[in-house]
Amino acid sequence: MIGSLRVRLALTGSLAIYLPVLLVFAVTMLNRSEESRVAPDGTEHVVASTGIEPTPWAVFTVLALLPVTAALAWWWSGRAVRPFERIREAAERIEAADLSLRVGTAHGTTEAIGLAAAFDAMLDRLERSAQVQRRLVEETSHELRTPLAVLITGADVLLRHPEPDLDLYREGLERSRNAAERLRDAVGELLVDARGRARVIDRRPTDVTALVREVFEEVGAFAASRSVRLELRGGPAEAPVDGPSIRRAVANLVHNAVKHAPAGTAVAVAVERSAGTIAVLVADAGPGVPAVERDRVFERFWRGDRAPGTGLGLPIARQIAQAHGGDVTLLDAEEGCRFRLDLPVPEA
């Protein structure tokens, strides 16, 4: 009981109110009197004495004030701790997964109001995270269900065929391999996405142009297999960024451009620096994105016209850029696609 904040505040308030009453009572009851005494030698001496002579009415008043002060202190302490009780009640109801609940505007001390606001802000973040997680699970289950269905259907077709031959087995294995590759790519991108969300941004001075060169080495073999050239323009451009994360974002943009670039064309990457910003522009000569679908290119798992890939590369690149305070945008182009990755750079 003594561990309760309200009880402690009530006891402190009662003492703060009642002790001055007792002090005033004691002072007012002091009575100084004088009397004369005759000594044996015949001299007279004045003797003063002090004593307490409480009246019944004063005693009754002091005793009656005790429960009044206790009740007043209990009421005051209740108002003081009420905002904290509201937060506790909200936390208890949230255990039932009601993330839409909010404490609301608290009345009380500045500390209580600040605590309620911080608690509501935390609930806002939790609710957004829960919504993202729920949407991710729904989208992931839908995306993984398709290649799994292809694998199962292909196996059923082969098993039920009365006279399967080598060509039929080869065709079934090719379908199964394509479905398995799609499943592998989707799982890999999802792992990258999850790690990126859990990763703490470790900003260090990094040459963004050097990161693009590393990406070219990584994607070079894939580009050569599709007869696509990789071109880089721009000098050193240093920025305080998380190198591995930005490298992943640039790799996603370049890999996406190579997949859509026709054979014999080039994917051009330019690193430009302006006041307060470093921009990485990735352009290809592919079919581009129809105007009616431009707003969907950053949707998770969206693949225009069932294009190859998982539909996660561009959303992950934008997520990484936004975590750095920047963004990835799709620019207008005469042909193909042009994506721009912006990274803010503090002025020296």
Q: 61 pLDDT exceeds 80?
A: no
DSSP letter string, 76-128: HHHHHHHHHHHHHHHHHHHTTT-TT----S--S-HHHHHHHHHHHHHHHHHHH
The domains found in the chain, sorted by start residue, are 5-98 (no CATH), 132-197 (1.10.287), 204-344 (3.30.565.10)
pLDDT band at residue 213 under the 50/70/90 scheme: very high
Q: 32 pLDDT exceeds 80?
A: no
Q: In the prediction, which pLDDT does 58 show? A: 67
pLDDT band at residue 230 under the 50/70/90 scheme: very high
Which residues fall within 8 angstroms of residue 299, CB to CB, at 6 or more apart? 311, 315
Q: In the prediction, which pLDDT does 311 show? A: 64
Task: Give the CA distances from residue 224 to residues 249, 262, 335, in Å, rounded to whole numbers and listed in that order.
Answer: 21, 12, 22
With contact defined as beta carbons under 8 Å apart, do 265 and 288 qualify?
no
Q: 211 pLDDT exceeds 90?
A: yes
Q: In the prediction, which pLDDT does 279 show? A: 92
126-153 pLDDT, tens per residue?
777 777 677 666 666 666 766 777 778 7
| Mean pLDDT across 206-229 | 90
- DSSP conformation class of 200: P
Helices 243-260, 313-323: crossing angle, 10 deg rounding: 150
| Mean pLDDT across 264-292 | 87
CB neighbours of residue 33 within 10 Å: 10
pTM above 0.85, yes or no: no
- DSSP conformation class of 63: H
| Mean pLDDT across 148-172 | 78
HEC assignment per residue over 223-259: HHHCCCEEEEECCCCEEEECHHHHHHHHHHHHHHHHH
Q: Which residue has the higher pLDDT, 277 or 101?
A: 277
Q: What percent of the chain has pLDDT over 70?
A: 68
Pick from 18, 135, 6: nearest CA to 66:
18
pLDDT band at residue 39 under the 50/70/90 scheme: low
- Cα–Cα distance between 128 and 315 in angstroms, integer? 17
Q: Which residue has the higher pLDDT, 109 or 175?
A: 175
| Phi-psi region at 288: left, alpha or beta (left = phi > 0; alpha = psi -120 to 50) | left
- Cα–Cα distance between 229 and 168 in angstroms, integer? 37
Both structure tokens of 19: 């002790």
pLDDT band at residue 244 under the 50/70/90 scheme: confident
Q: 221 pLDDT exceeds 70?
A: yes
- DSSP conformation class of 309: S
Pick from 226, 219, 334: nearest CA to 287:
334
Q: Which amino acid is at 256?
A: N
Q: 13 pLDDT exceeds 90?
A: no
- Residue length of the chain: 348
Q: Which residue has the higher pLDDT, 36 or 116?
A: 116
Q: 34 pLDDT exceeds 60?
A: no
81-126 pLDDT, tens per residue?
777 777 777 667 665 556 666 666 656 666 667 777 777 777 777 7
Q: 229 pLDDT exceeds 80?
A: yes
The average confidence (pLDDT) of the chain is 76
Q: In the prediction, which pLDDT does 340 show? A: 93
Q: Which residue has the higher pLDDT, 261 or 109?
A: 261
Q: Which residue has the higher pLDDT, 244 or 24?
A: 244
CB neighbours of residue 76 within 10 Å: 16
Q: Which residue(s) pair with 205 in the sheet?
A: 240
Residue recorded with tokens 């005051």: 76
Pick from 5, 11, 13: nearest CA to 81:
5
